[in-house]
Structure 1
Amino acid sequence: MPGHERDNASTGGAAAGLRGGIAGRALLALAASLVAPGLAVAQVSLPPMNLGDSSIQDAIAGPGFAMQETIGFNRAARFRDARGGLAGRPAGLTAASVLTQLIYVSEHRLFGAYWGAEIIIPVAHAALRQGGGMARNDTAIGDIFVSPLMLQWPKTMLLGRPFWQRLNLNVTLPTGAYDNLAPLNIGTNAWVLNPHYAFTYEVSDDWEVSGRLHYLWSSANADPPAALKARRIQAGQAVHLNASVSRAFGDNLRIGLSGYYLRQISDDRIDAVRVGGREQVLGIGPVVKWQAGRTALVAAAYWETLARDRPEGWRLSLRVARGF
C-alpha cells in the first residue's frame, strides 16, 4: 500500500504483535516468590505479555515487511500482596530483554483485511540479589512468539476522521530455556494464547489516540518448579490493555502519554486446586516517537502503581523499526 500507511506499516504501526517486557516481566514475578516465599506474592506467575511496548500509532499499517529490535529494562522497587499492601522490598531485582521481531503483511485480503504473520524471538537476562549477598542470574533465549493470522484492515473513516484497526492471534511456544530445579527460568514451559485487537484514531491532523486490548490464557505446566512440590501448575486468565495519546510536532516527531493496565480474571491452580491472589498493575509514563522515512524510534518510560500479587517498580523501553 503506497503512501503514509505503507511507511507506518514498515516501521511503528505494523509491529502488530509486539510483546512488552517479553521475559523480563515474568522473571520479576517469579523472582518475587524466591525472594519472599513466605509473603503473599503469587506462587504461580502470569506468562510474559505486552505491557506498554505498543503505543503511538499502534494500528496504522499496510502491506510490507518490517523488522524490529526492542530493548526493555525492568526493576522491581517493592512487592505487593493480594490486597495491594507492601509485602517487602528486594535487595536487587532486575530484568532485561532484547526482542527480534519479523513482520510480514501481504497484499491478500481476508474479511476485507490484509493477511499477515509475525515471529518474535526474545533473549532475556534476570539478576536477583538476596539478603546476605546471595546473587542469582540467568541469560537465555525465551519462549518464541508467533502469529499465523494477523488481519490488518486498511484506513477507513470514523466521524469524518481516519481510523485503523487490526486483529492478531498470537501464540507463545514453550521453547525457552527451562529447568524445574533452576532458581530462575527464562522459559515458562507452557503454551499461551494471547490475541489482541488494536486501533488508532486520528482525532485531528496533529492528535491521535491508540489502544490495544489483549486476552491471555496459559496452558498447564506439567513440570513446575521443584520448590512448589506440585505435579501441575496453571496461571489464571487475564486481560491487559495498552493505550496512548500523542501529538505531532512537525513531520518527524510525536510526543505523548502512554500506559498499560493488567488484571487477572481467574485464579491460578496448583494440582487443580485454586489458589488465592490475582495479579494487577497499572503503568503510566511519557512516550516519544521519531520517524524518518521507513525507520522509526520509539522510547517510553513507565512507573507502576496499584499492583497486587506481583512486583511493582519502573521500566524502560526502546524500540527501533525498519521497513523494507
Structure 2
Amino acid sequence: MLPGIVALGFATSLNAQTAAPPPLPPLDLGQTNILDGEGRPGALLELIAFGSTADRLADAAGGAAPGTNRQRVASFIVHPIFVADATIAGAHPGIELLVPVSRVENQFAAGGSGVHIGFSDITVAPFLQWSRSDPGPGSVSARLALQIVAPVGDHAPVRPVNTGQGGWQLSPYLAVTWRASRRWEVSGRAIYDWSASATSRMNGCAQIRVQPGDLVAVNLSASYALSDASRLGIGGYGLQQLSLSRSARASLPESRQRIYGLGPVARWHVGNVTLAPAAFVEFGARNRPQGVSLNLRLQRPF
C-alpha cells in the first residue's frame, strides 16, 4: 500500500480583475513536504484543508501597495491516488486527481473586491514513481508527474473574484526524498507551470484575453523522526514568475510575481490515518498578497 505521501496541495494568488497583473494559477506552495518523493503500489485517499490570510499587497518593487488590501482564502480538496504494481523503466505508474472547493475573499484598494465560493479547477496527474518498498538510510526516491489542470471551476469574466482560472494549465513536477540517516530525511519538489490564456475583464473595461507568465516553484523540507509514528521538521517554498504576463497579446511590464515562505511541518500516524500539518510565514513578495498560510493533510491508504 501507499505510505500516504504522494500528495499535491493548493494555494491561490490574487484572483481578481484589478490594476494588478493577471493572477497566477493555484499552485502547491509548501503543502507537500515531509517524505514527498516516496510512494509504493496501492490506493490512497487524501483530504486537504488549506487556509491563508494576507493583509499586505506587494507592488512590483516589493513595497506595500497603497490603501487597505487584504485577502482570505479557504479550500478543501479531495485527492484520490492510485499506484500500479506494474513497472515501467523500474518505476510504478500512477495517477492522481484533485477536486477543490474554495472560498476567496478579496478587498483591494485598486478594485476587484468581493467574495466567491465555488469549485476550483480539477487536476489530473499521471506519474512515474521510483521508490523502494522499505526505504532505508541513504536511499533516494523520486516521482515525475505531469499535472493537467482542466478549466472547469467557477469563472466568469464579469465577476471580480473567481475560484476558477478559466484556462488550461500544464505543470510538470519532480519530487525527491533522500533518507540522509535512520532518522533524518530531506525532501524537495520542483514545479514548472504554463497557463493558457483566459477571458477576463481588466479595470472594468471590455473583455480581453489575459495570460499569466510561466513560473517555477520549489518546495524544500527537512524532518527528524521523533518515533516510528511521528516526524517534525522545517519547510519552505519559493515562487518566481519567469516570463511577463500578457494582456490582449501584449506583454505587461513589471508583471512578474515572487513569494517565499518558511515554517514548521510535521507528520504523524494514528492507526491507519496519517496527519500532516504545516504553517508558513511569507516574505519577499512581488505583485501579490503576502501573509500566512496553514494546511492540514489527512491520508488513508486502502
Give the TM-score band, short-chain normalised: over 0.9
- Report if aligned partners of 1:14, 1:59 keep a CA contact under 8 Å in 2: yes
The corresponding residue for 1:209 is 186
- Mapped to 1, the partners of 2:268 and 2:132 lie a distance apart of 22
- Report if aligned partners of 1:173, 1:190 keep a CA contact under 8 Å in 2: yes
- Report if aligned partners of 1:241, 1:260 keep a CA contact under 8 Å in 2: yes
- Mapped to 1, the partners of 2:134 and 2:272 lie a distance apart of 24
- Mapped to 1, the partners of 2:54 and 2:137 lie a distance apart of 44
The corresponding residue for 2:15 is 30
Query: Could you tell me how far 1:130 is from its partner in structure 2?
Result: 5.9
- Mapped to 1, the partners of 2:293 and 2:200 lie a distance apart of 28
Matches within 5 A, 1:45-84: 45-84=23-62
Any idea what the Cα deviations from partners look like across 1:211-265, whole Å, max 9, x if unmatched?
Answer: 00000000111x2126253521111000000010000101111000011100000
2:211 to 234, 241, 250: 234
- Mapped to 1, the partners of 2:195 and 2:75 lie a distance apart of 21
- Mapped to 2, the partners of 1:235 and 1:287 lie a distance apart of 30
* Shift in alpha-carbon separation, 1:61–1:293, aligned structure 2, 3 A: farther
> What amino acid sits opposite 1:247 in the alignment?
Y
Matches within 5 A, 1:304-323: 304-323=282-301
- Mapped to 1, the partners of 2:283 and 2:32 lie a distance apart of 19
Matches within 5 A, 1:113-132: 113-129=91-107
2:169 to 182, 187, 192: 192
Query: Could you tell me how far 1:183 is from its partner in structure 2?
Result: 1.6
- Report if aligned partners of 1:77, 1:314 keep a CA contact under 8 Å in 2: no
2:6 to 7, 10, 14: 14
- Report if aligned partners of 1:298, 1:319 keep a CA contact under 8 Å in 2: yes
Matches within 5 A, 1:87-98: 87-88=65-66, 90=68, 92-98=70-76
Query: Could you tell me how far 1:92 is from its partner in structure 2?
Result: 4.2
Matches within 5 A, 1:154-169: 154-155=131-132, 161-169=138-146
> What amino acid sits opposite 1:289 in the alignment?
R
Query: Could you tell me how far 1:292 is from its partner in structure 2?
Result: 3.4
* Shift in alpha-carbon separation, 1:322–1:88, aligned structure 2, 3 A: farther
- Mapped to 2, the partners of 1:281 and 1:96 lie a distance apart of 19
> What amino acid sits opposite 1:172 in the alignment?
V
Q: How many residues align?
A: 298
Q: Does 1:183 align with 2:160?
A: yes
* Shift in alpha-carbon separation, 1:89–1:198, aligned structure 2, 3 A: farther
- Report if aligned partners of 2:136, 2:179 keep a CA contact under 8 Å in 1: no
Any idea what the Cα deviations from partners look like across 1:265-307, whole Å, max 9, x if unmatched?
Answer: 0000111110022000000000111113542101111000011
The corresponding residue for 1:255 is 232
In the superposition, the TM-score normalised over structure 2's length comes to: 0.93
Give the unaligned 5+ runs of structure 1. 1-5
1:224 to 185, 188, 200: 200
SS of 2:15's partner is helix
In the superposition, the TM-score normalised over structure 1's length comes to: 0.87
The corresponding residue for 1:151 is 128
The corresponding residue for 1:3 is none
Query: What percent of counterpart residues are identical?
Result: 33
> What amino acid sits opposite 2:85 in the alignment?
E
> What amino acid sits opposite 2:15 in the alignment?
L
